[in-house]
């Protein structure tokens, strides 16, 4: 019920509600370096710094990143994944991020780029049920503002979980275009296979609105949570020029074996 009430609000109202709810905490809470106020954080639950540090370890383990790597953060949010890179990349390395929410881009530019000029963030105001309804521009028509083969590592955390199939397929093509050959893309998903479909029935993460190749939790706010059929999306990875290197199921459905995070993690290599 609370989830439905939350999704019934507009994206702007959701951001405002979060600012109001967390205002007393932010007023007195001591923040770490580069950590935004809780009321500004519009992506993901849990500990902002801890989650960023955890994923950074995954990036180092599976992304083959180096201090001089060229990094692309798709859906850069409010800098949760960028912060660990500020202590890792040298002046030859670059970090570029883009996001549909201006608040996150503005905060990152003011607080990160001002200290680390090799980190740049771009606002891409695309339509999304959860985050932005102030435009008709869609992700499936968006060309990434980067040259071919210009990145050594790309990642998306909780991005494809908020996108419809046509948008995801287009982004996969764009990622393949801007990644250098043999380089890695790490992305999180909600993947539906026989195990997750059975287990999710006893959790709050029940993707009950079935559309065949994908499923939703809420038909009214489609991009709030989107899950993809495993056979369908794995076939699309290969069709878009990727090799599937690793698949780590998430704990969202109640799984416990071979898990790394709440969402499923997939590691892809550009052929």
Q: Where are the alpha helices (DSSP H) in the chain?
A: 2-8, 11-28, 48-62, 82-85, 102-108, 165-178, 194-199, 230-239
Please say if the pLDDT value at position 7 is more than 90. no
Confidence band (pLDDT; 50, 70, 90) for 15?
Answer: confident
**Size of the chain, expressed as the number of residues it contains:** 271
pLDDT for residue 1: 57
- Structure-token match 């109640």, residue found: 254
Judged by average pLDDT, the poorest of 62-66, 175-179, 215-219 is: 215-219
pLDDT digits over 83-121, tens only? 999 999 999 999 999 999 999 999 999 999 999 999 999
Annotate 115-140 with DSSP letters as a single string.
Answer: T-TTEEEEE----BTTTB-S----GG
Task: Sheet with 226-229: list strands edge to edge.
Answer: 191-192, 226-229, 214-216, 209-210
The CA distance from 88 to 247, in Å, is: 26
Strand partners, 132: 128
Query: What confidence score (pLDDT) does residue 19 get?
Result: 78
Average pLDDT of the residues of the chain: 91
pTM (global) more than 0.95: no
Spatial distance between the Cα atoms of 152 and 71, rounded to a whole number of angstroms: 6
How far is 246 from 265, CA to CA, in rounded Å?
A: 8
What pLDDT sits at residue 237? 98
Q: How many CB atoms are located within 10 Å of the residue 8 CB?
A: 12
pLDDT band at 9 (very low <50, low <70, confident <90, very high): low
List all residues 6 or more positions away from 27 whose beta carbon is below 8 Å from its beta carbon. none
């Amino acid at each position: 019920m609370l989830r439905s009430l939350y999704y019934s609000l507009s994206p702007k109202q959701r951001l405002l509600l979060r600012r109001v709810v967390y205002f007393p905490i932010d007023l007195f809470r001591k923040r770490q370096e580069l950590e935004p106020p809780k009321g500004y954080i519009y992506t993901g639950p849990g500990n902002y710094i801890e989650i960023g540090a955890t994923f950074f370890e995954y990036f180092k383990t599976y992304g083959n990143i180096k201090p001089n790597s060229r990094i692309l953060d798709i859906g850069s949010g409010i800098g949760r994944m960028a912060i660990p890179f500020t202590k890792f990349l040298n002046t030859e390395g670059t970090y570029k991020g883009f996001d549909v929410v201006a608040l996150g881009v503005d905060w990152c530019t003011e607080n990160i780029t001002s200290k680390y000029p090799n980190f740049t963030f771009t606002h891409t105001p695309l339509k999304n049920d959860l985050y932005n309804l102030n435009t008709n521009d869609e992700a499936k028509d968006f060309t990434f503002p980067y040259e071919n083969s210009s990145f050594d590592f790309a990642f998306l955390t909780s991005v494809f979980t908020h996108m419809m199939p046509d948008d995801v397929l287009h982004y996969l093509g764009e990622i393949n275009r801007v990644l250098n050959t043999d380089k890695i893309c790490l992305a999180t998903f909600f993947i539906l296979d026989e195990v997750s479909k059975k287990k999710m029935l006893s959790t709050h993460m029940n993707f009950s609105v079935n559309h065949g190749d994908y499923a939703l939790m809420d038909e009214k706010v489609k991009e709030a949570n989107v899950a993809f059929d495993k056979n369908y999306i794995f076939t699309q990875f290969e069709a878009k020029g990727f090799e599937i290197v690793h698949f780590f199921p998430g704990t969202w459905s109640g799984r416990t074996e071979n898990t790394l995070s709440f969402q499923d993690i997939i590691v892809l290599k550009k052929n």
